[in-house]
Amino acid sequence: MDLNYSPEEIAFRDEVRGWLAENVPADLRQKVLDYQELSKEDLVRWHKILAKKGWVAPAWPKEWGGTDWDATRRYIFEEEYALAGAPPIAPFGPTMVASVLLHFGTPEQKQRYLPDIYNGNVFWCQGYSEPGSGSDLASLKTRAERQGDHYVVNGQKIWTTLGHYGDWIFCLVRTDSSGKRQEGISFLLIDMNTPGITVRPLLLLDEAHEVNEVFFDNVKVPVENLVYEENKGWTVAKYLLGHERLNTGRIGGSKRELAKLKAMAAKTTVGGKPLLEDARFQDRLARVEIELMALEITNLRFLDEMRRTGDIGPEVSMLKIKGTEIQQALTELSMQVMGPMAQAFRPIAYDGFDDFGASMAARYFNFRKTSIYAGSNEIQRNIFSKMALGL
């Protein structure tokens, strides 16, 4: 197993690093580093810059605008992207619904939706979770009744991330209740401007408007917006969740946050000496850093497997579990560094470190979600134990 980059891969890394340094707008980079909210205009603006370069959807087939990069180059790109402080590309379009359309969509659906997704002309959101249907997603109750050439949708979705920005939403809906729960679910694409849709904000502990409730009241959806077969949406849902989990490790982002944490700890004094020299803090910091190094090596091992076989197994759940735990641990250590300055909901500037200007308490609260979304870590452990260990 070769975990080292080849000379060609190192040259590619340098190319990506240089382009990002020159092309990420300074104001957007600062928002990312300061943990400030990115508006829809911010996200779309950066999306279009990356699309013009041809790097907005590396995993897509080349015929639809993909890069034709192998798994290693995609990983290098994602790491350099995070280290550069580049704004995120909202995954709901390019990563999630696009992967579904490329795999399950008809030629007409691909032609209709993929170009607008690639170019950032349409902002997508996800309609999966419902009140009482989160980890047990197959218990969803939002119904879609076939009436001629339309479905009529009634129900509610919750925790819809960036739903207030959404132009379109992809939804799991129940089209049959007579058999097993998983067998009566369908996957629909719905225009958010359709009459009968109401979006209501949900403010989280950090007082940010990031997630929403979405209500459907007799919403008419054309039958041609059904992806794959009626009542076979559970197959689509599982495929999509696999793509979502591949992006939750965020190793590059954690490496960036670790470097910032060390810099802050070196500036913070406790008992007359830098916190970075405190033995207990050193222990906690070292443990997180070692786990992050191990996670990176594990990720490289998966990449080596993909280079050789073109596929990876259920072990990839480890990336989601450990990646999100490390992200949470870093926010906990940041709270310790900030001490009494970590006041919730108040922007601060501390000892010249303006990139830590956002509230550490607010960030800490927000990152409690990482071990829950894309399948809770408890669910991921079950998947790993059954499918990888055979327990």
Task: Tell me which residues are annotated as active site.
Answer: 244
Spatial distance between the Cα atoms of 183 and 128, rounded to a whole number of angstroms: 16
382-388 contacts: CB < 8 A, separation 24 or more? 383/314, 383/317, 384/314, 384/315, 384/317, 384/318, 384/321, 387/313, 387/314, 388/313, 388/314, 388/315, 388/317
Spatial distance between the Cα atoms of 126 and 240, rounded to a whole number of angstroms: 11
Spatial distance between the Cα atoms of 338 and 348, rounded to a whole number of angstroms: 10
Residue 38 φ then ψ, to 5°: -100, 125
Please check whether residue 129 is in contact with residue 159, taking contact to mean a CB–CB distance below 8 angstroms.
yes
Q: Quickly tell me which residue has 């109401």 as its tokens.
A: 198
Query: Which has the closest alpha carbon to 244: 55, 91, 79?
Result: 91
- Which pair of structure tokens corresponds to residue 71? 């798994």
Kindly give, in sequence order, each residue whose CB lies less than 8 Å from that of residue 148, ignoring residues fewer than 6 positions away.
none
Tell me the H-state helices in the chain.
Answer: 7-23, 26-33, 40-53, 71-83, 98-104, 107-119, 233-245, 251-267, 279-309, 317-338, 360-366, 377-387
Strands 168-174 vs 124-127: parallel, antiparallel or unpaired: parallel
